[in-house]
């Protein structure tokens, strides 16, 4: 089935052409490069995995309860609008919400694949080209994984959200080689990584937990890559150049925050215009979504600070968003946690498979003895 058949909203043309500018840079310096970058490149090679083999696609998913989380996480839960809905409509609310969220993950991963390929093309140093090449493969695997999950397990998809599309357009259309790092590695990847983490930690369903944990294991390296490259480069920029990057970060963070509203999901549920407005009002005042939005900046804010974009005006923008306190988060600790959780998911999964095999063997032996 074509993905276009799954879209709740017509996606328009089958492709979206972004006019990219900037130079393709070759380098003739083949020395060893930076030790930390090369270590990250080695890790990127060592940690490659196959989504067909590593993920247990035989696990069932209820499309009307994809994550198995309480309804209290739905923005309109407990409102008069929610109380007026019958159970069938509430099921559709759950399904469309999950489809929208995983669809944006999918589109973001394709954007990351294209951005990392552009980094290979435009970044001046070879060690960064090496690592970005491994990331391009990672992002292809992530897009493959989310596409399969939506097609086979949810059966519903949404086109790219306008706010994510605008940020990708700005990121890819800029001729400066560092902007794909800043737009993708810091902003889009940072927010996605935090969103994956929240959903990984609250889901009670094994298949989405596997997918989110394994993708996060890769994404943590990608954010580390962006930090490493930009921190070195931004040390040498002028104040006016840094201000341009801060303007980009501030605008991008507002776009990322606004995309979480998901207005298009309410419009596709057959609600009246007044009910859509009611849903959006509830979204704006949802305590769960307020906390969720705050947590989504847990990776971005400390990363922005770490790379050297931390002027009073940028701090004020984060204060206005209510996320300034996220600056104290330890990215290294979060990255270690992401690695450990993915390894734990692997261990639990394969331990269960081993137990199942032993049980099957024991059952076969018991049947043989009974027959004898």
- Domain boundaries, given as residue ranges, for the chain: 3-12+34-345
DSSP state, 3?
A: G
Which tokens in the block code for residue 305? 């600070």
Which tokens in the block code for residue 181? 């790092």
Percentage with pLDDT > 70 across the chain: 92
In terms of CATH, what superfamily is 3-12+34-345? Ribonucleotide Reductase, subunit A (1.10.620.20)
What is the rounded CA–CA span in Å between residue 48 and residue 338?
Answer: 16
Model pLDDT for residues 74-121, shown as the tens digit of each residue: 999 999 999 999 999 999 999 999 999 999 999 999 999 999 999 999
Q: Contacts for 5-12 with beta carbons within 8 Å, 24 or more apart?
A: 6/150, 6/151, 6/155, 6/156, 6/157, 7/157, 7/158, 7/159, 8/96, 8/99, 8/156, 8/157, 8/158, 8/264, 8/268, 9/158, 9/159, 9/264, 9/268, 10/159, 11/159, 11/160, 12/159
What is the rounded CA–CA span in Å between residue 235 and residue 229?
Answer: 11
When pLDDT is averaged across residues 10-31 and rounded to a whole number, the result is 75
pTM for this model (two decimals): 0.86
| pLDDT, greater one: 349 or 72 | 72
Model pLDDT for residues 209-268, shown as the tens digit of each residue: 999 999 999 988 888 888 988 998 999 999 999 999 999 999 988 888 776 777 889 888
DSSP state, 47?
A: T
What is the rounded CA–CA span in Å between residue 92 and residue 90?
Answer: 5
CB 113 within 8 A of CB 137: no
Vertex 185 angle, CA 344 and 148, to 5°: 55
CB 282 within 8 A of CB 75: yes
What is the rounded CA–CA span in Å between residue 154 and residue 56?
Answer: 16
Distances (CA, A) of 95 to 98, 123, 142, 291, 365: 5, 41, 21, 22, 44
- Mean pLDDT across the chain: 88
Q: At how many degrees (to 10) do helices 126-149 and 87-122 cross?
A: 160
Highest mean pLDDT among 135-144, 226-235, 269-278, 352-361: 135-144
Distance between first and last Cα of the chain = 51
Model pLDDT for residues 17-27, shown as the tens digit of each residue: 777 777 777 88
Q: What are phi and psi of 157, to 5 degrees?
A: -150, 160
Q: Predicted confidence band at 309 (pLDDT cuts at 50, 70, 90)?
A: very high
């Amino acid at each position: 089935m074509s993905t276009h058949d799954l879209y709740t909203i017509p996606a328009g043309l089958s492709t979206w052409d972004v006019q990219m500018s900037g130079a393709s840079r070759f380098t003739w310096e083949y020395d060893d490069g930076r030790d930390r970058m090369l270590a990250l490149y080695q890790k990127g090679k060592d940690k490659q995995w196959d989504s067909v083999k590593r993920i247990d696609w035989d696990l069932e998913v209820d499309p009307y309860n994809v994550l198995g989380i309480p309804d209290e996480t739905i923005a309109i839960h407990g409102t008069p609008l929610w109380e007026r809905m019958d159970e069938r409509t509430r099921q559709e609310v759950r399904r469309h919400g999950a489809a929208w969220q995983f669809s944006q993950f999918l589109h973001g991963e394709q954007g990351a694949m294209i951005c990392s390929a552009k980094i290979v093309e435009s970044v001046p140093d070879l060690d960064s080209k090496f690592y970005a090449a491994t990331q391009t493969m990672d992002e292809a695997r992530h897009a493959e994984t989310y596409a399969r999950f939506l097609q086979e397990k949810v059966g519903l998809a949404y086109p790219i959200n306008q706010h994510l599309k605008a940020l990708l357009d700005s990121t890819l259309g800029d001729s400066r080689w560092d902007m794909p790092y800043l737009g993708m590695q810091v902003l889009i990847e940072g927010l996605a990584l935090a969103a994956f983490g929240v959903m990984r930690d609250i889901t009670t369903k094994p298949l989405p937990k596997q997918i989110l944990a394994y993708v996060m294991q890769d994404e943590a390296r990608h954010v580390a890559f962006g930090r490493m490259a930009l921190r070195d480069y931004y040390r040498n920029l002028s104040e006016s150049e840094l201000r341009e990057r801060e303007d980009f970060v501030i605008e991008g963070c507002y776009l990322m925050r606004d995309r979480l509203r998901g207005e298009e999901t309410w419009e596709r549920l057959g609600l009246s215009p007044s009910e859509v407005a009611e849903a959006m009002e509830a979204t704006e005042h949802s305590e769960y979504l307020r906390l969720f939005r705050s947590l989504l900046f847990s990776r971005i804010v400390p990363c922005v600070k770490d790379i050297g974009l931390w002027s009073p005006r940028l701090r004020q923008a984060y204060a206005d968003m209510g996320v300034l306190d996220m600056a104290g988060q330890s990215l290294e600790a979060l990255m270690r946690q992401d690695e450990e959780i993915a390894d734990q998911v692997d261990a639990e999964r394969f331990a269960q498979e081993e137990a199942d095999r032993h049980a099957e063997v024991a059952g076969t032996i018991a049947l043989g003895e009974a027959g004898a």
